[in-house]
Structure formats: C-alpha cells, structure tokens
Amino acid sequence: MAKHKRIVIGNWKMYIDSPAVAMDVVRHVNRKTAGSKIEIGFAVPFVLLPTMANALKNSKIMLGAQKLSAHGGGAHTGEISAGMLKAVGASFVIVGHSERRENETDAMIAEELLRASEAKLRVVLCVGEKNRDESGAHFEFIAAQLKSALAAFPKISAARSLIIAYEPIWAIGKQADAAMKPAELREMEIFIRKKLTEILGRENAMKVPVLYGGSVEEGNAQSLIEGGDVAGFLVGHASASAATFLPIIQVCEK
C-alpha cells in the first residue's frame, strides 16, 4: 500500500446558505487544526468561494469547488470555468460527484478533468456504484468509470494532482452504521489501485491517494480509515458543522 499524507475534505453540498455561518465553521476548524499534519479541505458552493478564500488567507486549509464547466471559457451562460475557480483562490475541484453525474455524461467528466488539470487545480474524481449484488458487477462499473474519466488525462498530472474518492451511492447520506464496512472498502481500495496501475502505470498510480466518502461520521471514521486502508475521507453532512467535522479530522491525525 502507498503511504500518502492523510486527506480529509468536507463537501458542503448545499448545506450552508449563509456566509456568516460558513465563516464560523471554517474559522473554528482552522483554529483547532493549526498544527495539523494532514491535508484538510472544504469544497464549498461557488458563491462562498471569495468569502472563504478571504477567511483562509494564511491557512493551510485547502479551498475547492464542487464542480466546474467542461468548457474553458466563452459563450456558456451560467457556467463556471477552471480558470475562474483558480482566480478566486480555489486549489482543487470535485469532478464526477454522483449527485452531478445525474446530469453529466462520462465524456463531460473526462473534459472537466482536462480543464481542471490545464488550470493546475487538484482534482477529486468521484467514482461509485449505485448498488451492489452477489455478481460483483460493481467492480466492472468502477473500472469503467475510472477508464473513461482518465483515458485522456495526462499521466504525469495524475501523479501530481489527482485524488480518487470512492463514494458508493447506496452509502451516501445515511447514518454511520449504514455506511460501507471496512473489509469491503479495503477490497475496493485494492481494486481501484490495480485499475489505476493499469491506466496510469505503477509509479504514477502509487502517488494517487484514494479516499472514501459515504456517511462518514465520528462513529465509523476510525474503523474505516484503519480497516479500509484509505488515505482519508470525503465527508458530506458531517462536514457542515465544526462539531461533527473535527472529530473525523482528529481520527485521521492519529
């Protein structure tokens, strides 16, 4: 297994409307994690990016967006480009979250990855199956998602800037006890690394951290990080308040 610096990223989705509340959460987490040895990030709604960038000036906490346009710029009403994200202080972007894949094709996701890489943004590429059964078809599903997203992605950029987040859709938005079991996660982590090795080559693949997302809470973070053998977490609902996010970060610090 490759040893990566641990990474914990909060995906705020649409949980926080108010810039004041957002500032509160981020400042609190920043204060409590000042000496942290791990990488911590927040993927926030577009409209909060400038405020958050200001609040995180001089902080090691990474700021990111939850999606980006497949286009680089031009006549695309309502879209947000990789360059725009970079210009307001984002250093990473989530691509292919399952809640986005409802409206985005695999081809769009591959394009979005390229735009992010051109703008030198780190990318959190989400993959995950809708459901599982005895046939094990979910492994082939994940393999296909990785292959189509990364087919044209520069291998050298992957080694530098790619993070994979395995987020099985059936485990998202539940309580801790409904989430993935550590042994199943370990099995999938090994599978993802094998596929990354085929696509990117071993040396590049070993540099890509694999995170888990799907109902990570204080109660299951420890068993998932140890038993699942992942580099960290992409946290949804539990990242929307410092009280629920900090204990997960603390588990990953150990």
Which residues of this protein are in contact with ligand 13P, per CB under 6 A?
11, 97, 167, 172-173, 213-216, 234-238
How far the first Cα of the chain sits from its last, in Å, is 18
Residue ranges of alpha helices (H) inside 33-130 are 49-55, 82-87, 98-101, 106-118
- Do 182 and 227 form a contact (C-beta atoms < 8 A)? yes
C-alpha span between 245 and 219 (Å, rounded): 12
User: What angle (nearest 5°) sits at the alpha carbon of residue 166, between those of residues 221 and 248?
Assistant: 20
| Active site (annotated) includes residue 97 | yes
Residue nearest to ligand 13P (CB): 236
Cβ closest to ligand 13P, residue 173 vs residue 201: 173
CB of 163 to ligand 13P, least distance (A): 12
The catalytically annotated residue of 99, 111, 112, 167 is: 167
Cβ closest to ligand 13P, residue 204 vs residue 251: 251
Rg from Cα positions in the chain: 17
Give per-residue burial for 165-178: e unless 16+ CB within 10 Å, then b: bbbbebbbeeeeee
Return the number of other C-beta atoms located less than 10 Å from residue 5's C-beta: 10
C-alpha span between 128 and 144 (Å, rounded): 11
Cα-Cα-Cα-Cα dihedral of 242, 244, 249, 251, to 10°?
150
Cβ closest to ligand 13P, residue 142 vs residue 204: 142
CB of 153 to ligand 13P, least distance (A): 20
Residue 238 phi, psi (nearest 5): -75, -5
CB of 58 to ligand 13P, least distance (A): 27
| Active site (annotated) includes residue 167 | yes
CB of 93 to ligand 13P, least distance (A): 13
Return the number of other C-beta atoms located less than 10 Å from residue 17's C-beta: 11
The catalytically annotated residue of 4, 39, 97, 237 is: 97
Cβ closest to ligand 13P, residue 69 vs residue 96: 96
CB of 216 to ligand 13P, least distance (A): 5
Cβ closest to ligand 13P, residue 64 vs residue 229: 64
Q: Which residues are catalytic?
A: 97, 167
